[in-house]
Structure 1
């Protein structure tokens, strides 16, 4: 380890629970010192013949139907908006250490695409027959190449989160094919069943207490699927474990205002699907009731975090996905939530999000922590960041999240200077590093939020730059007036000479034209004036910048920025008006 990085490592580790540290040390020792051994089966593995309720299908990250069959015939597969070579006959499972397309690779091992393939395979047609052939070949090859004791399977293929997710899609596939009276080769069926059982056994022994958060909850979902599917003493213990984790994590992960404690709207929706699955799969009525109440509280929060286009804000990691499908899933547990009635203002003090939804403006303001201290892996250095829409169309956007590789895209997405906030001395307001790590964290303070019939008024401060010479502090004030004008004032106090930068990432549908004191913004018939003013001399610039509205998607857009070099304090006023 680099000695110079030791202080940063300490700042990262000091927030963790001791259980996380000891579990991570044990996993590291296991991985480096112990050779994988084939997991033993019980004397007899029985599948539960009784039907059990199945959760609704969630968002597919792959093609469907005939398109999926055609892609696989070409030796390609599209996951998370990226098409990669996958092979045919001898499939490329990307085993071993993977440094590029890590999220694509682990998604490959979720096997959701195999479930989509099975849905085509049950159709009585030539395409269905071809899909059945591809499904059989791919499963057979996966069982041979990716079983537990095969080289290179540990990092991603037998990652606990991947197993937990794969168990759900695999059991769906089993039940789908059985229900359609598809006769599999008995040898393949037995190998598949036994492998599923070994996966669940491995998951039960490797629950992600080191990572916690959404990973721990997904582990519970995987155990619940396996506990309902198999009929052994061990599988019944899996169900008990799933229930304990579910109830415990409902208390830990869902804050009092209904938000998920990782503070990412995207992962909030992901976790909602897990609460829903647990509400359906778990056998005990009291536990199911807890899951239903947790889902409903989460749904009320999600309904507020949507832009007029129906897609969630992109604070922290994740995609700007439509919330309607997730909210509609509530019908499966007798809950229905509409995203349309949320109008007016709402401050969520636990998540630290202030929301105004009205005409013509919709505004989301991040005035909270970057995430839970024990697991801020999906945090970005975006304290006091703002997203907004004008007349139903996004205007200022978050840079988003392209992938989870340790590369420039990841660093760009997490950096303060990529967000709609203020950066001092080129330093991130929170010390984000590597792929998921965070050292020093910005802490908001003096948060005051008020709403009236004109909109949102508020102030907030954070201390993310106090460690720099001169102890700079960023304070932001926002005000909406009756003329549909938004005023955003940034004050950076402290002493000494500093480089300060702020700016706004435009939605690609807007164009910007430079004028004397800012820019004219245009999209279709709509025009806005963005004016920047300060008593100090500022340099204004238009910079080509990437925008990542979804995983694997990059769109070029414009960042409108101001820069200052000189002594503090600095006061900058931004005015946006029709």
Structure 2
């Protein structure tokens, strides 16, 4: 009930009306008054051009076939790198983690947060995105061996039998339907299209008819249940992309052209609305920056293949998104884990590499004119969606450092070189729209990498659905390199994906360069206290000395408990010394000197109650890390931390 009240408080009157309309549509569907079987074909007769086999480099075919063999034997990879045994004939409504089998009832009646009913819905959905079925189609393309089509036919037929339209947990999310349609289109393309060998022999035509019926039902459900208002974030982009790709691949019905036109129009709008003019995804979550960009790219490639290119403004938004992503990536390939991340991906075409940011940048390089794309993922995508490619994307410009609209500034020196120092300062909003679902309470936090090694880190997300304390911790202020006042988060949570009061940052002094970086900013997150308090942070970096100085002050009438946190990457050697804290990496050393009236320093690692000192590189995985926690009772006194960096 508390969650419901909070959710309603985040809605406009227009959104309340939309939710009521959605509930009415759901009642109609529950009563069986909607038709889900595809009508007779009445649209265009052809979809996308037939896919070709990409040029494969030595070892790539073997890697594809090895992964396909694991899938044939029932082992699939979910999320970033977690393997699960689901069997050669999966039970598609069963959670592969907990073993709970979801009910085969009307999808609108399923409470997806009820773990006793559906298990962990994230695991169910991840399996049913069908990324692994694409691997089977790749194996057939690469080898010509029909055994892979037989495995694919068995799994696809099983899904269609177990998951009829609007029945079971796999029909509870329009976003998941969109991702599934995208991967189905890749399977369809790579398996030879409508007249391919997949649909030959006994049962082939029946499989095609049943599959097309399900595709139609997916499109109809997405079009009816688009994420709107405060939910119109990456979900809306993913739903529209799935609808657009599907109606380009299967323009079979009279409704197809209307659905496709709507999806194209809204994707054009969302590419500009959800990314700032300097290329930052407005959800303030770098993993979702990649996720949303993947959707926009694959829709654009489908549009080109179908002869319906998106506008130059759309492509320019993608170029800006890649520019930002390239800029925040350090020389070792690390991207700071700002905001939420669940390792969700739109496609998985490279069996050996799953660095999604790197793969996205490689796709951008391929579209910018790279003669022979080094990325297997890019080569497969361009062959799955053949035809006229877009006008070459602009060659990648040198990395930037100032993204004021998006809310991020970079400091450091020697960007792209072996002895790179690269820091990221977060001075942007909490998140996007009314609920800011995937933002973290990280105002004025910073990260730092040295010589391609992560040093000061954002600890990540860990899990959406584990015990509430872990969700609260990883998105809370104490899990970020910033200041907490009176033991409270900067922003006030209203649920696992909802913020009720949002701290707003304000830049008071803008730096002029990353090497002579002199920043001053504040946020209002603690002005809600009975004795309002304002956090003021100054960040200075001097490239000549390799010194970073961070000064914090909490301005208020009375004294407050002030805690400052510094999270160090696992694998670094972090020890106390007479001056403060010594940190050693593979190629660098860092000395942290601390000064502040009444300040006490503690080194914390893997604390359970309350959580502190944890790091999560991938979804559902966590490990201890060293955290320097500095505490003082302050009535405006200054707390200064000086980081001196040297190289071996």
Structure-2-length-normalised TM-score: 0.79
Which residue in 1 is equivalent to 2:437? 377
Quote how far apart the aligned CAs of 1:562 are.
Answer: 1.2
Misfit runs of 4+, over 6 Å:
53-57, 337-340
Separation in 1, partners of 2:281, 2:53: 21
| Secondary structure, aligned partner of 1:380 | coil
Aligned counterparts, 1:301-450, within 5 A: 301-318=324-341, 321=355, 323-330=357-364, 331=367, 333-336=390-393, 341-342=398-399, 346-359=401-414, 360-405=420-465, 407=467, 408-450=469-511
Point out the more displaced range, 326-335 or 370-379.
326-335
Structure 2 residue corresponding to 1:181, chosen from 181, 197, 216: 197
Cα contact 1:364–1:388 (8 A) shared by 2: yes
Cα contact 1:106–1:157 (8 A) shared by 2: no
Deviations 1:45-101 (Å, cap 9, x if unpaired)? 6774353498999xxxxx973443444455432201223342343524233545354
Which residue in 2 is equivalent to 1:39? 36
Structure 2 residue corresponding to 1:144, chosen from 151, 161, 171: 161
Cα contact 2:51–2:190 (8 A) shared by 1: no
Matched, 1:24 2:19: yes
Quote how far apart the aligned CAs of 1:386 are.
Answer: 0.3
Which residue in 2 is equivalent to 1:519? 581
Aligned counterparts, 1:113-132, within 5 A: 113-122=132-141, 124=143, 128-132=145-149
Quote how far apart the aligned CAs of 1:23 are.
Answer: 2.5
Separation in 2, partners of 1:518, 1:337: 47
| Secondary structure, aligned partner of 1:178 | coil
Matched, 1:190 2:236: no
Point out the more displaced range, 434-443 or 290-299.
290-299
Structure 2 residue corresponding to 1:474, chosen from 535, 538, 541: 535
Quote how far apart the aligned CAs of 1:206 are.
Answer: 1.4
Quote how far apart the aligned CAs of 1:136 are.
Answer: 2.0
Deviations 1:523-570 (Å, cap 9, x if unpaired)? 134221111110223232232322112323423321121122x35224
| Secondary structure, aligned partner of 2:562 | strand
Cα contact 2:593–2:641 (8 A) shared by 1: yes
| Secondary structure, aligned partner of 1:93 | coil
| Secondary structure, aligned partner of 1:362 | strand
Quote how far apart the aligned CAs of 1:485 are.
Answer: 0.8
Separation in 2, partners of 1:388, 1:271: 25
List runs of 5+ in structure 2 lacking aligned partners.
55-61, 95-101, 104-111, 344-354, 368-388, 415-419, 607-612
Which residue in 1 is equivalent to 2:182? 168
Structure 1 residue corresponding to 2:568, chosen from 492, 499, 506: 506
Quote how far apart the aligned CAs of 1:200 are.
Answer: 1.0
Which residue in 1 is equivalent to 2:376? none
Which residue in 2 is equivalent to 1:219? 239
Deviations 1:218-271 (Å, cap 9, x if unpaired)? 122112112212233210111111122122223322222222221222222222
Separation in 2, partners of 1:25, 1:55: 46
Aligned counterparts, 1:225-304, within 5 A: 225-228=245-248, 229-282=250-303, 287-304=310-327
Quote how far apart the aligned CAs of 1:486 are.
Answer: 0.5
Separation in 2, partners of 1:253, 1:15: 19
Separation in 2, partners of 1:562, 1:511: 19
| Secondary structure, aligned partner of 1:41 | coil
Separation in 1, partners of 2:495, 2:10: 17
List runs of 5+ in structure 1 lacking aligned partners.
58-62
Quote how far apart the aligned CAs of 1:41 are.
Answer: 2.4
Deviations 1:105-138 (Å, cap 9, x if unpaired)? 212121111111222244557xx55533332222
Q: In structure 2, do the counterparts of structure 1 residues 50 and 242 end up closer, same or farther at CA, with 3 Å as the change threshold?
A: closer
Cα contact 2:536–2:552 (8 A) shared by 1: yes
How many aligned residue pairs are there? 560
Which residue in 2 is equivalent to 1:532? 594
Structure-1-length-normalised TM-score: 0.88
Q: In structure 2, do the counterparts of structure 1 residues 260 and 164 end up closer, same or farther at CA, with 3 Å as the change threshold?
A: same
Q: CA RMSD in A?
A: 3.0
Separation in 2, partners of 1:31, 1:434: 24
Matched, 1:103 2:122: yes
Deviations 1:151-183 (Å, cap 9, x if unpaired)? x33xx4441111111111102211221256344
Cα contact 2:412–2:541 (8 A) shared by 1: no
